């Protein structure tokens, strides 16, 4: 591999030095192209939801579900209010990227990495999810960001619109500029450990088939009378942040 690389570079270098480029702008018979390529690989897994009967107090239970599996501080990311409803970790969309940075710059490098991976693959949606996150396997670099083979994640929860119960699922993700063969297996093992912890919670009622809500992109506008949270999720009956019933005008 290094030999081939040197040979190719040598050939390319010899062209301009051996003969001065002609001033005519004729297209050569064979165009020499330098290839540039970046392969980004993001992947993740999420479990079915577990129904928790606990009311708003259940939010305090979420971090305990990572105990024994977390390899770093456990961080809680709350649902985003309406002013961040366009937040996306995509730097070529400056307005969306700015919202995303404003919403998440306070979090740790591990949590920001997890959000980029899990939002990019649509495993979590902060319009309605509360996300509790930690490093779960692998290493971080000298700046504190997880390596591509590190597994990050934890649990994500939302409120069931028909019953007001809390629905919690295990979510893990990994990825970056590389991929390692055994990460998928490690991720699956951690996901199973997280699901075991969720089911072991005192408020857990068992696995449920409730689908994740679909956030209506756009106006939102319901403001929680209990905590003041302005939801971006138009059809929500329960405040994504505190879980109390939203009052409609």
Q: Interface with Zn ion by CB under 5 A: which residues?
A: 224, 226-227, 229, 239, 241-242
Q: For Zn ion, give the closer residue by CB, 100 or 159.
A: 159
Which residue number, 52 or 190, has a Cβ lying nearer to Zn ion? 52
Report the nearest approach of Zn ion to the CB of residue 227 (Å): 3
Q: Indicate the helix (H) or strand (E) that contains 111.
A: helix 109-120
Q: Which CB atom, from 210 or from 246, has the smaller least distance to Zn ion? A: 246
C-alpha dist (Å) from residue 109 to 44, 76, 131, 140 = 18, 13, 15, 9
Q: Which is nearer to Zn ion, 98 or 227 (CB)?
A: 227
Q: How far is the CB of 182 from Zn ion (least distance, A)?
A: 42
Count CB atoms within 10 A of the CB of residue 178.
12
Minimum gap (Å) between residue 240 Cβ and Zn ion? 8
Gap between the terminal Cα atoms of the chain: 67
Give yes or no for a contact between 110 and 134, defined as CB atoms under 8 angstroms apart: yes
Write down the least CB distance from residue 224 to Zn ion, Å. 3
Q: Are 123 and 155 in contact (CB under 8 A)?
A: no
């Amino acid at each position: 591999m290094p030999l081939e690389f040197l040979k190719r570079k040598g050939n390319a270098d010899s062209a301009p030095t051996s003969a001065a480029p002609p001033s005519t702008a004729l297209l050569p018979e064979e165009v020499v192209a330098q290839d540039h390529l970046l392969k980004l690989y993001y992947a993740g897994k999420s479990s079915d939801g577990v129904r928790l009967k606990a009311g708003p107090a259940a939010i305090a239970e979420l971090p305990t579900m990572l105990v024994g599996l977390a390899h770093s501080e456990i961080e809680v990311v709350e649902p985003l209010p309406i002013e961040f409803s366009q937040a996306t970790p995509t730097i070529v969309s400056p307005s969306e990227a700015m919202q995303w940075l404003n919403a998440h710059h306070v979090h740790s490098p591990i949590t920001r990495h997890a959000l980029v991976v899990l939002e990019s693959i649509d495993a979590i949606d902060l319009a309605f999810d509360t996300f509790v996150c930690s490093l779960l396997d692998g290493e971080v670099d000298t700046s504190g960001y997880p390596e591509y083979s590190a597994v990050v994640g934890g649990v994500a929860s939302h409120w069931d619109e028909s019953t007001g119960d809390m629905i919690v699922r295990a979510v893990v993700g990994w990825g970056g500029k590389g991929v390692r063969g055994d990460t998928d297996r490690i991720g699956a093992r951690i996901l199973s450990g997280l699901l075991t912890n969720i089911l072991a919670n005192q408020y857990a009622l068992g696995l449920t088939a409730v689908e994740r809500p679909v956030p209506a992109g756009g106006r939102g506008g319901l403001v929680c009378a209990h905590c003041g949270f302005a939801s971006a999720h138009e059809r929500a009956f329960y405040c994504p942040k505190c879980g109390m019933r939203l009052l409609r005008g």
